[in-house]
Structure 1
Amino acid sequence: MVDDAAVFPPGDADLSDALTAYAARSSQWYADLVGSFVVRDTELGAVPPGVPASVVLTSGAGAIAGVASLAARKDLTLAGLEVAVRDADDPVGNVRRIDAAVRAADLDVQVFVEVPGPATASWLAAADEVAACEFHLKLRLGHVDHDLIPDAGTVATWIDAALDRETRFKATAGLHRAVRHDPEGGGAHGFLNVLVATQTLWDGGSGADATEVLEQRDGARLAATPLPSARRWFTSFGSCSVTEPLDDLIALDLLEKP
């Protein structure tokens, strides 16, 4: 459920230290909670073989060929590529360029595409192209500037769009805690809220229903909600902390510490 993004803000861990901690978790009782190790393409060469790396492309589609070449040369394990649409004037064309680069590199890997902005017609058209290319969506749910954190209604619309296209998605930024809360400066989404909202929409609930769920602060109520299908669509979230999500899951009796 948690992709280890320790080297990204606000954690900004040293890469070597983060890799050591990632390896150490493989023997812990909660090892199955942690998925890939998220790393920038500029630091991929320091990741040892065998570590499932989800690579954030810092220069868009143009970086794909280099990542593929490096991974092949060093026998690295690519768990995924994460790339943001950079051309706001032509997001559909940008997704197509990503697709062309992945095909040219002959990569068989999950690709998560971040389409910035609210769910305008342009955003929805880009989401259509993401689905057509059999990619996944990447939703940015947090920001260091609290004014730029998407509100619950926007997040509900994004999730609904993903489900409508039967497109899986991961989330990034700000989902360290299970339940929506209010740190100093503004609100922060909770990953359990996102799971329950996903299930709500998949079960036929409205956007207003999902928005209400995303704003819910009652952890016990959220934890009591059955989630038979949510993980099929909401695959994971990147977090610079693994212990915070783990502690919340234990506190909500969703994981039992041996």
Structure 2
Amino acid sequence: MNTLPPGGVIPELFHGLFDDAAVFPPGNLPVVDAVPAHRLHRAAWYAEAVGPLLCGAGRLGELAAAVANSPETAAAQGRAAGADGSVAAGGRPLKVGLVLPGGSTELAPALAAAAPFELAGVELATRDAAEAVAALDRLLPPDVPAAVELPRELLRGDGLDAVLDVLVDSPYRAKFRTGGLVAEAFPDEDELASFLTGCARRGLPYKCTAGLHNAVRHTDPETGFEHHGFLNVLLAAQETDRTAAAAVLAERDGEVLAKAVRALTDRQVTVIRNSFTAFGTCSIAEPLGDLAALGLLSSPSPLHQEDR
């Protein structure tokens, strides 16, 4: 059984799960504020749960300026910072994940613009999986991971199998959009289950984005949108049967999900995280707070507003 570690230790199930998407909707944190906030996350007791700072291709210049003008960089200059001022305090580059909504045409210029940072990954949106794979094969440094996202309308019916078959023969992950700013952006349980089990049967890793700020499936009281819970997705990630996965995704009782998490074996945790690698969230504190409320995480200090 997967026992919980003592307070202040992040369980393996949540390592690197929360990519910092603070600058994206609905958070829309200004880049100049997102940089110091991300550095606080990376220095906090929960740092093991935090992935890279996600940045769109069109905002890399803004990000570089924010890093160069930050107090941490000013303090580091003269010790380890480069002439462009892009190095974080202590001489470590900022770890950045590139998000390319414009497809493979953005890839080459974005890689060049990201040179001052530690490139943690690339997320490439496309309508042609094979073309995206070819572009990544041609341009992406071999040690940089990537994920390929196709519009959900192209993943329905036979389209899903066709896309996943292309990606499973590549070194790249799939990416699936689990929410957005309108109700139609949220897939139902069956649609998401089809994607999860299609990946599970192929051994294809994936990440998700949007709408997964909370641990448990729920209806947002302000918008009425149906949000998937990231605990639901984690537990469904081990399923290869679509009906079983959909049932897990539909569960709204946090205690039921928490009990299932506590019962996971180390092997199950490995299977789950080899499948579901990360998701983008505009709040880091919110998902951690949910885990603490469910007794799945014991924090040595409270999650303050400035951690968000």
TM norm structure 2? 0.76
**Larger Rg computed on CA atoms:** 2
- In the alignment, is the contact (CA less than 8 A) between 2:125 and 2:148 conserved in 1? yes
| Residue of structure 1 equivalent to 2:163 | 126
Listed as ranges, the matches of 1:84-163 within 5 Å are 84-86=125-127, 94-108=128-142, 109-117=144-152, 118-163=155-200
What is the distance in 2 between the residues matched to 1:169 and 1:186? 24
Amino acid at match of 1:112: A
Q: Determine the C-alpha separation between the residues in 2 that align with 1:104 and 1:230.
A: 30
Question: Which residue is 1:36 aligned to?
Answer: 52
For residues 111 and 169 of structure 1, what CA distance do their matches in structure 2 show? 10
Tell me, what secondary structure is at the counterpart of 1:10?
coil
1:69 partnered with 2:112: yes
Shift of 1:71: 3.0
SS of residue paired to 2:123: strand
- Structure 1 SS opposite 2:27: coil
Do 1:82 and 1:111's aligned partners in 2 also have CA atoms closer than 8 Å? yes
> For residues 45-64 of structure 1, what are the structure 2 equivalents within 5 Å?
45=61, 46-47=63-64, 48-49=86-87, 50-64=93-107
- Return 178-187 or 7-16, whichever deviates more: 178-187
Shift of 1:186: 2.6
Q: 1:170-224 CA deviation, whole Å, 9 max, x = no partner?
A: 110000000001113231100000001112x1xx5x2111111101011111112
Q: Which residue of 2 aligns with 1:223?
A: 258
Structure 1 residues 210 and 134: CA distance shift in structure 2, 3 A: same
Whole-angstrom CA distance in 2 between matches of 1:60 and 1:31: 31
Structure 2 residue 294 is the aligned partner of structure 1 residue 257: no
Which residue of structure 2 aligns with residue 166 of structure 1? 203
Return the letter of the residue paired with 1:134. P
For structure 1, the 5+ residue unaligned runs are 87-93
Whether the 8 Å contact between 1:192 and 1:222 is mirrored in structure 2 is: yes
Superposition pairs for residues 237-256 of structure 1, below 5 Å? 237-256=279-298
Name the amino acid aligned to 1:61: S
Shift of residue 56 of structure 1? Answer: 0.7
Q: How many pairs were matched up? A: 245
**Matched residue of 1:124: which SS?**
helix
Q: Distance in 2 between matches of 1:105 and 1:246?
A: 36
User: What TM-score do you get using the length of structure 1 for normalisation?
Assistant: 0.90
Between the aligned partners of 1:123 and 1:240, the Cα distance in structure 2 is 28
C-alpha separation in 2, matches of 1:244 and 1:106: 33
Deviates more, 1:46-55 or 1:242-251: 46-55
Kindly provide the amino acid, as one letter, of the partner of residue 115 in structure 1.
L
Percent identity (aligned):
37
Letter in 1 for 2:203: E
Cα deviation digits, residues 121-151 of structure 1 (max 9, x gap): 1232111111112210111111211133100
Does structure 1 conserve the Cα–Cα contact (< 8 Å) formed by 2:216 and 2:253?
Answer: yes
- Higher RCO (C-alpha under 8 Å, 6+ residues apart): 2
C-alpha separation in 2, matches of 1:66 and 1:224: 47
| Distance across 2 between alignment mates of 1:69 and 1:168 | 27
